[in-house]
Amino acid sequence: MLQNIRDNSQGTIAKIIVGFIIITFALFGIESIVALGNSESAPATVNGSDIQEVEILRLVNAQKNRFRQQFGENYDESLFNDGFLRQSALEQLIEQKVAVTQARELGGYVSTQSIDSAILAAPEFQQDGQFSSDRFKLVLRQNAMTPLSYRAVLEEQTLVAQVQLGMGLTDTALPYEVKRQQALKTEQRDYEYVIFNAADLKKDIELSAEDIQTFYDANKQRYQTEEKVSVDYVVLNKSDIKSDIQVDEEEVEQGYQDYLDQLGETEERKASHILVEVNDERNDDAASALAQQLSERATNGADFSELAKEHSDDIGSKNIGGDLGFNTRGGFVVEFDDELFTMVEGQVSEPVRTEFGYHVIKLEAIRKPEAESKEDKRSDIVADIKASQLNGMFAEQSEALAAAAFESDNIENLIAHSDLGLKAQNSNLFSRTQGKGIALNVLVRNAAFDEKVLADRELSDVIEISADQVVVIGLNKHVEPAVKSLADVKMTIEAHLLTEKANALAAKKANALVAKLATGDSGVAWTQAKSATFTDSGEAPAELNKAVFALAKQSGKVASAKVSTGQAVARLKSVTQVEVVASAEEQEVISQAKANESVYIYRQWSKTHSDVERSGS
């Protein structure tokens, strides 16, 4: 069937369709095709509340910043998988949304005053022990946040903390629980033990050729070579494109106008504002009326700075007269931005409603970057135009390569169908996980083992190795996994069988000793363990110590346990209960551990009973 499709695709109609696709790609980009089957949706929705892509990106960037600080000069971004960081950030945000939803359903409430106090007390916003508005705005800007969006995040974090704090204060350990924990912690046990070391037993074990052959025959699937392939491929490099791009004066003029437009987008506006919140003490009508009154007073000549200090609910700016500093468009919520960037210098706005309340805005100043002359910018403009045109040519050639690959069944035919001056190349054999040369790239390895190339023997799609290089590959050779010869794996099998038989012999000797101890002493040389506790076994193996503490408190009781070096047997000699009254600090630790467990169970329950939908992650 696939061959029929390929044969039919050589016809005139198919070529017209392919040509249409190429033109569409060249004019509008691949999004023009892909978008037909896609619609934007939130990466995840929790109980009807969307998690936005910008939230994920902000958290991923925060994680990367922490890594940069942690590793310093040794930081290498290529070592951190963006997909993993993104998924981790998404799960973190889902957990947070679930926690916030449950906190609101439990009646959680955070007052404006408590948020203000938290901001003022936060050490990251302090300078010389005092809250610094400049420091506050700098930290928020570094994290791509505005003062208003930060307040919203802080409110959610505080809501979640309220639930956790409530559990911590109410789910305290009862006296008998404290006593039980202390008894386990302070109990001491004396016992004697012996270890049957598997390594020492190996010298007494003989393996026959039949043992090795039998194991090999039964476990051949363990000893297979890796599946490998080699590929034929062509590489299209942007640097190989030969072009003599000429730039005329009209293009330079358009480039200069584009430069001036971009400068306009970087215009900064210095604003001050008065925030009037809608809260339990002030409903929407009252907040709107107060904001209108303040707007009129400021317009009629009242000192805006003094009005902000007296009436603003924005703790981050009220003490400095509502000053928000210089910001470009996009620095505030949409409603605020739209009003600010239509105002003239010195103007006071009417009340602007946002999710945070009502704002009265004053435009203090406008700062525009100074434009260079066209002649000073000419060389940069020409270089940009040439680079843009070269990128366009590279994109067109990449699409032509894709079309040729679609029409061809091998690399030689692809070269014959295209006029791109390509050269056929070959790789060495490589596996799914390792390769050299072109196969160092994971995208190439994935494509080589994809069904399209491996099973259907088609050429791959165009693979983007970098922004300046693309490749197309086709299967050259496929080496199926094969069972290694017995000679190649004999030493590995011998080591495995010796370990297996030695461990079995150690367990057998341990079981025999346990049986003898039931009728009398065995005469073995015991090692003594004195005053061992549940958490401190001294030199005795931890696995054996755990088994000893699982025994009833009766002298002579015997335990056997597998340990890292073989098998061990212990005989309990005595149990000493040290009566220690738990200190207030120890009681707090026990209670906190119980509260932490309760919080974990509650969070798992909350997530299970929440409506979480993921898409595009």
The answer to whether residue 616 scores a pLDDT higher than 60 is no
Cα angle value 568/570/574 (rounded, 5°)? 160
Strongest mean pLDDT among 87-101, 532-546, 586-600: 532-546
The answer to whether residue 82 scores a pLDDT higher than 90 is no
pLDDT of residue 176: 73
Task: Give the 3-state secondary structure of residue 189.
Answer: strand
**Nearest-10 crossing angle of helices 284-299, 304-311:** 160
Q: Could you report the per-residue pLDDT of 448-482, keeping only the tens digit for each?
A: 999 999 999 999 999 998 888 999 999 999 999 99
pLDDT of residue 78: 60
Unique residue bearing structure tokens 């106090």: 117
- Segment 255-272 shows an average pLDDT of 84
Please tell me the distance from the alpha carbon of residue 488 to that of residue 498, in angstroms, as a whole number: 18
Q: Could you report the per-residue pLDDT of 304-333, keeping only the tens digit for each?
A: 999 999 999 988 788 889 998 888 887 788
pLDDT of residue 391: 86
Contacts of 528 (CB under 8 A, 6+ apart): 190, 192
The amino acid at residue 252 is V
> Residue 362: which of 425, 299, 288 has the closest Cα?
299
- Segment 428-444 shows an average pLDDT of 93
The answer to whether residue 7 scores a pLDDT higher than 60 is no
Q: Could you tell me how many residues make up the chain?
A: 617
Which pair of tokens denotes residue 448?
A: 């080589």
Phi, psi of 357 (to 5 degrees): 135, -150
Cα angle value 244/399/464 (rounded, 5°)? 95
**Nearest-10 crossing angle of helices 584-608, 175-186:** 110
198 pLDDT tier (thresholds 50, 70, 90):
very high
556 pLDDT tier (thresholds 50, 70, 90):
very high
pTM exceeds 0.75, yes or no = no
For CA atoms 82, 614, 601, 547, the dihedral sign is negative
> Residue 446: which of 465, 469, 421 has the closest Cα?
465
Unique residue bearing structure tokens 């980009």: 29
DSSP letter for 371, please. P
Helices (H), 408-475: 411-417, 442-448, 451-454
Phi, psi of 196 (to 5 degrees): -95, 100
Domain boundaries, the chain: 1-35, 41-107+583-616, 184-223+487-577, 228-247+377-479, 268-367
- Segment 564-574 shows an average pLDDT of 95
Strongest mean pLDDT among 95-99, 370-374, 467-471, 590-594: 467-471
pLDDT of residue 362: 96
- Segment 562-591 shows an average pLDDT of 86
Cross-strand bridge partners of residue 197: 566
Burial of 211 (0-12, 13-18, 19+ CB in 10 A): middle
Contacts of 192 (CB under 8 A, 6+ apart): 526, 527, 528, 529, 570, 571, 573
CATH number given to 268-367: 3.10.50.40
Among 67-76, 276-285, 591-600, which stretch is predicted with the lowest mean pLDDT? 67-76
Among 5-19, 105-119, 301-315, 561-575, which stretch is predicted with the lowest mean pLDDT? 5-19
Task: Give the 3-state secondary structure of residue 57.
Answer: helix
- Segment 103-122 shows an average pLDDT of 83
> Residue 576: which of 192, 193, 186 has the closest Cα?
186
Q: Which residues of 231-256 are buried (b: 16+ CB within 10 A; e: fewer)?
A: bbbbbbebeeeeeeeebeeebbeebb
27 pLDDT tier (thresholds 50, 70, 90):
very low
3-state SS of the chain: helix, strand, coil percent to 5? 55, 15, 30
pLDDT of residue 519: 84
11 pLDDT tier (thresholds 50, 70, 90):
very low
- Segment 77-83 shows an average pLDDT of 67
Q: Are 401 and 236 in contact (CB under 8 A)?
A: yes
pLDDT of residue 287: 94
277 pLDDT tier (thresholds 50, 70, 90):
very high
The answer to whether residue 527 scores a pLDDT higher than 90 is yes
pLDDT of residue 410: 94
CA 279 to mean position of chain CA atoms: 36
Task: Give the 3-state secondary structure of residue 607.
Answer: helix
> Residue 106: which of 146, 159, 37 has the closest Cα?
159
Q: Could you report the per-residue pLDDT of 157-180, keeping only the tens digit for each?
A: 888 888 878 877 777 777 778 777
Please tell me the distance from the alpha carbon of residue 368 to that of residue 493, in angstroms, as a whole number: 76
- Segment 7-23 shows an average pLDDT of 39
Phi, psi of 427 (to 5 degrees): -105, 165
The helix (run of H) or strand (run of E) holding residue 273 is strand 268-276
